[in-house]
Amino acid sequence: MTICVAAVCKHEDKDLFVIATDHMISVGIGQFEHDIKKHKKIDDKSIIAMLSGNALIFNELIDGIETKHSFADIKNLIYTNFVKKKQGWIQKELLSKFNLTESDIKELIMGKVPMNPFTIKLVEQVIKAELKTSILLVGCENGKNHIAEINEYGIDNFDDIHFHAIGSGSMQAANTLLFQKQSKNDNLKTTIYNVYKAKRNSEVSVGVGRDTDVLVLNDHEAIELKKEDLDLLDKIYQNELSLGKNSEDLKKINIKFSNKKVIPKLK
């Protein structure tokens, strides 16, 4: 699992994206931090794909994208790749060893072929099969910003919300952006911190890594924040965390306990 966050903001009267990802890689043998990037720029377009789940299939899921494709085309192509990948996995891992096909499973489900305990179990495995992977696709096209989550089940669009997060830490990240009242009209520096904070808050979730990438995306390029910028953001974040609990104003809270001994009543 992982965390991928994206939010739209305003800079010099233009809309930009700020995105953040971790470096936690999920593969068959488990999860670990790696220097592999969880984000990929799509061709020469101002579109970035971020992945949550199995990093080994990232390239397969964005395969076939060409310069002529619009954002909508890219969404649909990635979804088609998801479907093909899932069908291929089911065929290879579950059906081919018994010389069965997807059509055979459909006939079993429709009752055209008698079921037995073995075929019932096989059908259940096919139904429960999941890639457990999603792509967060963001980009600027013709002056409009687009955000979409794509997986094997379909496409969800978040253009009107102006931010979204995927991965095991997505709930914490989204709640942080809501708490910060993140808006597409917020300036770039504020949004950089809000997205960074959302990523850092998501680290309480299982599967979210500590290492962080933050990028700013305009209508023609993506700029990655340098280490010194990330160190500064970390300093601000740590100061905010300690601000409340270390505040001198806490001493002004007046709590008084009674010195009277309380004698328990006999029943």
Residue ranges of the chain with per-residue pLDDT less than 50: none
Task: Give 224-256 pLDDT, tens digit per residue.
Answer: 999 999 999 999 999 999 998 888 999 899 988
38 closest CA partner among 139, 135, 128, 149: 135
Q: What is the reported pLDDT for 195?
A: 98
Is 10 in contact with 183 (CB distance < 8 Å)?
no
Say which CATH topology domain 3-79+133-244 has. Glutamine Phosphoribosylpyrophosphate, subunit 1, domain 1 (3.60.20)
Mean of pLDDT over the chain: 90
**Residue 43 one-letter amino acid:** D
Task: Give 138-175 pLDDT, tens digit per residue.
Answer: 998 887 899 999 999 999 999 999 999 999 999 999 99
